[in-house]
Amino acid sequence: MNGKRIWLTGASSGIGAALAEQLLQRGQRLALSARRREPLDALAARWPGQVLVLPGDLTDPNAVAAIGAQIEQAWGALDMAILNAGTCEYLDVRAFEAAMVERVMNSNLMAAAHCIEAALPLLRKGDEPLLAGVASAVTFLPLPRAEAYGASKAALRYLLQSLRVDLAAEGIAVTLISPGFVDTPLTRRNDFAMPMRWPADKAARHIATRLEQRPLEITFPTPFIALLLLLAHLPGRLQLALVRRMSRNSAKDVSR
């Protein structure tokens, strides 16, 4: 992977910032995007000559198109695009908010779609091109309060899996990244237990190493993923009986 031209989104904190460090240590050239410019500038200062700082609102198609144009002007092509930017909000079903679903969909799905539109022409001119996107282990099993987040990541999963089929003839590989819980500023806001949570640097090392093999999917941690998949393959009513125990909505609460 040495010297690959990589566009990494969501690079200002969490998995994205840790992954940027890992890739830069491996000699890659990175175009880094996020809403906040300051953390990107800090990385560029520490790795002179390896970083393009391209901040912007990825839900804005014009901003994303401008980022794509800057990458083309600087490098002419991309060898890899890693779509990591995203957000998470938890839904209270007793006060269902369609606007929340729209916000999360825009950040996790539409922003990725805008980036794919900008990246594909550049990947077509790259060396062994790879498109990667960060989905989530939540897509393996419906979980309480994850309606908006899970729906957005499930949609991203389907989008990338379908693109994998259509892009195969062009030699563009597609990798899904489906992590369990990772210790990031976003997950630190969670008000529930997060079993088998990985530090961000451990997750980033795992992702960077596995990306070199161009797999169809990168998942971790293995025991947590295995448990989700086991639950997902249970008969529907048994699965519901087990998973609903995680819900904060009890029959008593609903009847009030």
For 173, phi and psi rounded to 5 degrees?
-80, 155
Q: How many domains does the chain have?
A: 1
Structure tokens at 142: 């419906």
Q: 3-class secondary structure for 48-59?
A: CCCEEECCCCCC
> Of the ranges 6-15, 102-111, 161-170, 177-186, which one carries the lowest mean pLDDT score?
177-186
* pTM for this entry: 0.92
- Exposed, middle or buried, 171 (CB in 10 Å: 0-12/13-18/19+)? exposed
pLDDT at 190 over 50: yes
User: Domain range spanning residue 122?
Assistant: 5-255
pLDDT at 170 over 60: yes
Structure tokens at 188: 């630190």
Identify the CATH number of the domain in which residue 237 sits. Answer: 3.40.50.720
Q: DSSP secondary-structure letter at 198?
A: E
When pLDDT is averaged across residues 182-188 and rounded to a whole number, the result is: 79
Q: Average model confidence (pLDDT) for the chain?
A: 92
CB 59 within 8 A of CB 111: yes
